[in-house]
């Protein structure tokens, strides 16, 4: 493409209308005719190799200050921002051909986006999904490494969605994706805010910084649907200027869920919106899922999907893998696998499960290495508030010593009386949970959810699927 087509008057250049063969912010991918963007990351600054990229054959480099490289440098205040816009132009702006729906928050993004996509697909609208577990184009699964893909990969994915006939894209919009301008010039018809609790403070300097990152989504949307059961949601309602609607499962709001009934097999409630009331039945248990369902239904009704289609789609939906997922055991106790890996998420899932537990509630959990260490004792406190017994183990230790991570966790149990066991190896910990389970007990395996791997020292990724581990553990019990 011509340089002028890519820049679209977002920056000026004096090198003429050069033919550009590729656009990238990765120095390893530069080739003859590339447009290289100097982006400053956590450990590498692209500005440091700008001259080298020109020697390698780049047509020009984009930088945020004068590098003394003459006419082959293009100076712009924010190279990340321009890179996202140029990536969109490179793929002929696929975001303009899609109705975009974004969901942000700490917890509930995956479930909410998945429900919205299911309803839209049921209504006959081919829909793409960008999410934590996987990306999807209609019924086709596309592998993902990041909740929000990097700018070039994101626009390539949207281009593929458009080319394959998608009308909508529903996406989890991460704080990383917003701060790092990965979504380019995307504009969202509807944006949803689920909640904000402590997470990613290894990246964001504090909760205020985290909130401001999430808030960015609501400056690039037509309308917002915001959870006012959350303190940050109430604040967002007062600070965002777009068209906005509040939703709640606790108090009167623009969109309200009440008459809520939770069972192990699912939930039911009455939804009030725009003066109309709807009786909702779903196969997804848990108060937090009522909140997710409320937001998802509101989005789809706003899109003009007939209420009967929405309610029917919700009633037949089985839920999301790794989100309060029941793992079959054939025993008189229950095993639930959930992705809960923050204090708030642990509290939400355990509080919900506690409501339909006949025996003891046993919670097995750990905390990831190389991540926000401050949440470790808080995770323990949250678990101790609802569980009858705890099993403290590893999650993804990465390059940290698992024993030291567990030590941080145990600091939160100092003032509690809940009995706990420490089993560092997660496989052995699951075996132990199955061994001590009694009739009516529910075991919640928290933290891994949909993940089928563990990340160990040296960032080695090994296969680890808790559904398989549970099956192995049950077979071992049979043989004893």
DSSP conformation letters of 324-338: SEEEP-SSSSEEEEE
**358: domain range?**
325-478
> Among 26, 51, 79, which residue terminates a domain?
79
State whether residue 258 is helix, strand or coil. strand
All residues at 6 or more sequence positions from 299 whose CB lies less than 8 Å from its CB, including other chains = 101, 116, 190, 192, 225
Q: What would the 3-class secondary structure string for 395-432 be?
A: CCCCCCCHHHHHHHHHHHHCCCCCCEEECCCHHHHHHH
Residues 338 and 422 in one domain: yes
Residue 401 has pLDDT above 80, yes or no: yes
- Tell me the torsion sign for CA atoms 323, 329, 335, 337: negative
DSSP letter at 18 equals P
Residues 284 and 399 in one domain: no
pLDDT digits (tens, 9 = 90+) for 379-400: 999 999 999 999 999 999 999 9
Tell me if 181 sits within 8 A of 151, measured CB to CB.
yes
| 309: in domain | yes
| 88: in domain | no
Average pLDDT of the segment spanning 16-42: 94
Percent of the chain scoring above 90 in pLDDT: 80
Residue 198 has pLDDT above 70, yes or no: no
Residues 104 and 136 in one domain: yes
State whether residue 243 is helix, strand or coil. strand
> Among 252, 286, 316, which residue terminates a domain?
316
Residues 53 and 137 in one domain: no
Residues 304 and 364 in one domain: no
Average pLDDT of the segment spanning 31-53: 94
pLDDT digits (tens, 9 = 90+) for 106-141: 889 999 999 999 999 999 999 999 987 789 999 999
pLDDT digits (tens, 9 = 90+) for 209-257: 899 999 999 999 999 999 999 999 999 999 999 999 999 999 999 999 9
CATH of the domain at 35: 3.40.1390.10
> Among 316, 351, 374, which residue terminates a domain?
316
Residues 389 and 301 in one domain: no
Tell me if 383 sits within 8 A of 390, measured CB to CB.
yes
What pLDDT sits at residue 344?
A: 87
Residues 305 and 438 in one domain: no
CATH of the domain at 204: 3.40.1190.10
What is the number of structural domains in the chain?
3
Residues 251 and 276 in one domain: yes
Residues 119 and 259 in one domain: yes
State whether residue 244 is helix, strand or coil. strand
First-last CA distance in the chain: 68
Please report where in the chains the tokens 């960032």 appear, as a residue.
Answer: 459
Categorize the per-residue pLDDT at 204 as very low, low, confident or very high, splitting at 50, 70 and 90.
Answer: low
| 409: in domain | yes
**Mean pLDDT score of the chain, rounded to an integer?**
93
What pLDDT sits at residue 324?
A: 86
| 38: in domain | yes
Residues 41 and 124 in one domain: no
Categorize the per-residue pLDDT at 200 as very low, low, confident or very high, splitting at 50, 70 and 90.
Answer: low
| 364: in domain | yes
pLDDT digits (tens, 9 = 90+) for 322-350: 888 889 899 999 999 999 998 988 998 99
Residue 17 has pLDDT above 80, yes or no: yes
CATH of the domain at 431: 3.90.190.20
Residue 183 has pLDDT above 70, yes or no: yes
Two structure tokens written together for 363: 């919670």
| 89: in domain | no
Percent of the chain scoring above 70 in pLDDT: 98
Categorize the per-residue pLDDT at 197 as very low, low, confident or very high, splitting at 50, 70 and 90.
Answer: confident
| 240: in domain | yes
Rounded Cα gap, residues 43 and 47, in angstroms = 12
Average pLDDT of the segment spanning 169-175: 94
Rounded Cα gap, residues 454 and 460, in angstroms = 8
pLDDT digits (tens, 9 = 90+) for 351-370: 989 988 989 999 999 999 99
Residues 253 and 353 in one domain: no
Residues 333 and 442 in one domain: yes
> pTM above 0.85?
no
Tell me if 257 sits within 8 A of 290, measured CB to CB.
yes
All residues at 6 or more sequence positions from 21 whose CB lies less than 8 Å from its CB, including other chains = 31, 32, 33, 34, 59
What pLDDT sits at residue 201?
A: 58
Determine which of 87-96, 204-213, 330-339 has the lowest per-residue pLDDT on average: 204-213
DSSP letter at 31 equals -
């Amino acid at each position: 493409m011509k340089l002028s087509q890519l820049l679209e008057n977002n920056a000026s250049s004096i090198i003429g209308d050069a033919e550009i063969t590729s656009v990238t912010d990765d120095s390893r991918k530069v080739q003859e005719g590339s447009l290289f963007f100097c982006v400053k990351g956590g450990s590498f600054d692209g500005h440091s190799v700008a001259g080298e990229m020109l020697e390698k054959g780049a047509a020009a480099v984009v930088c945020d200050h004068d590098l003394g490289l003459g006419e082959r440098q293009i100076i712009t205040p924010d190279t990340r921002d321009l890179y996202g816009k140029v990536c969109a132009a490179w793929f002929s702006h696929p975001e303009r051909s899609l109705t975009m729906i974004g969901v942000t928050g700490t917890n509930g993004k995956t479930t909410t986006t998945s429900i919205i996509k299911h309803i839209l697909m049921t209504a006959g609208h081919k829909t793409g999904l960008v999410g934590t577990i996987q990306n999807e184009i209609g019924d086709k699964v596309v592998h993902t490494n990041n909740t929000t893909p990097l700018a070039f990969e994101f626009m390539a994915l949207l281009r593929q969605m458009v080319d394959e006939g998608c009308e909508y894209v529903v996406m989890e919009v991460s704080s990383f994706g917003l701060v790092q301008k990965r979504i380019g010039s995307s504009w969202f018809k509807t944006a949803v805010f689920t909640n904000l609790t402590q997470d990613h403070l290894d990246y964001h300097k504090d909760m205020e910084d985290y909130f401001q990152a999430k808030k960015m989504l609501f400056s690039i949307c037509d309308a917002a649907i915001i959870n006012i059961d959350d303190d940050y949601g109430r604040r967002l309602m007062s600070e965002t200027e777009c068209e906005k609607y509040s939703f709640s499962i606790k108090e009167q709001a623009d969109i309200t869920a009440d008459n809520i009934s939770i069972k192990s097999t699912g939930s039911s409630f009455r939804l009030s919106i725009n003066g109309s009331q709807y009786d909702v039945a779903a196969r997804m248990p848990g108060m937090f899922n009522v909140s997710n369902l409320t937001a998802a239904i509101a989005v789809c009704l706003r899109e003009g999907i007939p209420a009967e289609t929405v309610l029917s789609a919700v009633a037949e939906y089985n839920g999301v893998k790794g989100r309060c997922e029941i793992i079959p055991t054939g025993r008189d106790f229950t095993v639930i696998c959930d992705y809960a890996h923050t204090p708030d998420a642990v509290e939400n899932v355990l509080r919900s499960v506690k409501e339909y537990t006949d025996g003891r509630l046993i919670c097995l959990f750990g905390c990831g290495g190389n991540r926000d260490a401050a949440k470790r004792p808080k995770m323990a406190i949250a678990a101790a508030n609802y569980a009858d017994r705890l099993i403290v183990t590893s999650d993804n230790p990465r390059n940290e010593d698992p024993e030291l991570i567990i030590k941080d966790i145990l600091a939160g149990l100092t003032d509690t009386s809940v009995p706990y066991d420490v089993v560092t190896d997660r496989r052995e910990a699951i075996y132990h949970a199955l061994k001590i389970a009694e009739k009516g007990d529910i075991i919640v395996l928290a933290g891994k959810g949909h993940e089928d791997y563990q990340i160990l020292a040296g960032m080695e990724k090994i296969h680890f699927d808790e559904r398989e581990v549970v099956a192995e553990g049950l077979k071992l019990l049979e043989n004893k």
